[in-house]
């Protein structure tokens, strides 16, 4: 199977390049990898001490960041190298000050893995949540480099637990220790012979808790809100927008902020044209009296977390499609009640918060309008749901300390 895996990886290379001709995202995926090795060679010297963190995308990066910050503080003379697999992670965090080098992870071929490890020569390796690349992990094991998995999440349908998944199980042996989010993941790993497992919880709770200590002030949002009840629609996709726009068009005496996942001009124009209320775009707000508008469309990236701090209630996108639910913990950290779509079962934090009552699931426009209306106009109901959400985040903190104590032994 390992031989077949390597063959398929090489076959995928030209396919991915062809896909890059037709998809902007895949073009970034392909072109971004062309300069990886030259970048590493120019930024890392042979005598440098390095620590490598790998994240699939932006969400995993944010999940690993609290540990990265602790490691960086403990090893100030080491260079922190961060790799991303996805453009949606790399393009947003390529200039982060939290790392010394940020690059795409080259595709998982034996040659790429060897060349990457020769150039980076990490002292320690951290993989975040998932994405287990056999050739890279085999190279880590071969070089006897310490490796840790942070906030791992395993399900019984994964290849590790299949009869044909032996080469993937072997790759897991590269990790000195696996820190997982839930007891169920530990039991699955125990079932295939891994005992070096600790249930540490999810580092994202520590990460989102830290945002409460930042300056989340956005004067233009304050000017727009003008002391009115405010609903934020974060990381929305078209299917979700079709569900909540009727509510926005019918709502009275409230403010709405929409931060779409896609901010291309075509989508923003389509979204703006579907709203009958007085609407302003982030890119066109200069010189306008924002208090005069009912809907604020945030056609930029990087400020949604701060915007959640102004929300009285929030809808978080991704639950009506197959792309995956976006981060519900950021609004929850601010004590904001949350509304999501039905496709959330693969996100344990969403399942748990739904069960507790701080996150509300809607299936259609009728349910969306009823739920948003109750949150918008029933202050007692809204406050109670928000209290549950805020406490949920507080109760689940502590993963970072658990991980650091084990690593430092």
What are the pLDDT digits (tens) for 229-284? 999 999 999 999 999 999 999 999 999 999 999 999 999 999 999 999 999 999 99
CA angle (351 as vertex; 347, 353 as ends), nearest 5 = 115
- Helix H or strand E segment including 390: helix 379-395
Cβ proximity of 162 and 141 under 8 Å: no
Which of 139, 148, 125 has its CA nearest to residue 170? 139
Position 409 scores a pLDDT of 66
Cβ proximity of 234 and 241 under 8 Å: no
Which of 90, 79, 69, 89 has its CA nearest to residue 120? 79
Lookup: tokens for 256:
């709405």
Spell out where 216-268 has E strands.
Answer: 230-236, 255-260
CA 81/CA 102 separation, integer angstroms: 6
- Helix H or strand E segment including 245: helix 238-250
Give the pLDDT confidence of 133-144 residue by residue, as tens digits.
Answer: 999 999 999 999
| Residue 149: CB atoms within 10 Å | 25
CA 309/CA 331 separation, integer angstroms: 7
Lookup: tokens for 393:
């985040």
Q: How many CA atoms lie within 13 A of 402 on its CB side?
A: 20
pTM score of the predicted model: 0.82
Cβ proximity of 66 and 75 under 8 Å: no
Cβ proximity of 119 and 83 under 8 Å: no
**Where is average pLDDT lowest: 6-10, 119-123, 244-248, 339-343?**
6-10
Give the pLDDT confidence of 303-360 residue by residue, as tens digits.
Answer: 999 999 999 999 999 999 887 899 999 999 999 999 999 999 989 899 999 999 999 9
Lookup: tokens for 242:
């079709």
């Amino acid at each position: 199977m390992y031989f077949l895996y390597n063959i398929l990886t090489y076959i995928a290379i030209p396919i991915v390049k062809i896909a890059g001709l037709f998809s902007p995202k895949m073009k970034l995926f392909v072109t971004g990898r062309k300069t990886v090795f030259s970048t590493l060679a120019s930024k890392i010297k042979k005598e440098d001490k390095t620590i490598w963190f790998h994240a699939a995308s932006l969400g995993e990066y944010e999940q690993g960041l609290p540990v990265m910050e602790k490691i960086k503080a403990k090893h100030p003379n080491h260079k922190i190298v961060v790799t991303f697999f996805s453009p949606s992670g790399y393009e947003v965090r390529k200039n982060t000050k939290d790392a010394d080098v940020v690059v795409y992870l080259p595709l998982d071929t034996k040659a790429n893995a060897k060349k990457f490890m020769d150039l980076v020569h990490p002292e320690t390796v951290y993989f975040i949540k998932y994405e287990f690349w056999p050739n890279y992990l085999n190279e880590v094991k071969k070089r006897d480099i310490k490796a840790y998995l942070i906030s791992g999440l395993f399900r019984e349908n994964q290849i590790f637990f299949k009869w044909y998944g032996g080469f993937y199980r072997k790759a897991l042996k590269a990790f000195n220790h696996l820190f997982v989010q839930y007891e169920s993941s530990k039991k699955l790993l125990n079932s295939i012979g891994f005992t070096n497992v600790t249930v540490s919880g999810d580092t994202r709770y520590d990460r989102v808790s830290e945002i409460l200590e930042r300056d989340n002030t956005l004067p233009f949002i304050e000017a727009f809100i003008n002391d009115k009840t405010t609903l934020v629609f974060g990381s929305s996709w078209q299917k979700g927008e079709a569900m909540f726009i009727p509510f926005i068009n019918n709502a009275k005496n409230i403010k709405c902020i929409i931060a779409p996942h896609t901010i291309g001009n075509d989508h923003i124009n389509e979204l703006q044209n579907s709203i009958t209320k007085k609407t302003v775009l982030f890119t066109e707000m200069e010189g306008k009296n924002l208090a005069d508008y009912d809907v604020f469309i945030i056609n930029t990236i990087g400020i949604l977390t701060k915007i959640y701090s102004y929300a009285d209630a929030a809808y978080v996108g991704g639950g009506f499609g197959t792309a995956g639910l976006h981060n519900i913990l950021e609004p929850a950290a601010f004590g904001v009640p949350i509304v999501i779509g039905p496709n959330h079962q693969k996100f344990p934090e969403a399942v748990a918060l739904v069960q507790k009552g701080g996150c509300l699931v809607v299936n259609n426009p009728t349910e969306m309008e009823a739920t948003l209306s109750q949150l918008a106009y029933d202050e007692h109901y809204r406050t109670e749901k928000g209290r549950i959400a805020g406490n949920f985040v507080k109760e689940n903190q502590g993963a970072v300390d658990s991980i650091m104590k084990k690593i430092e032994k």
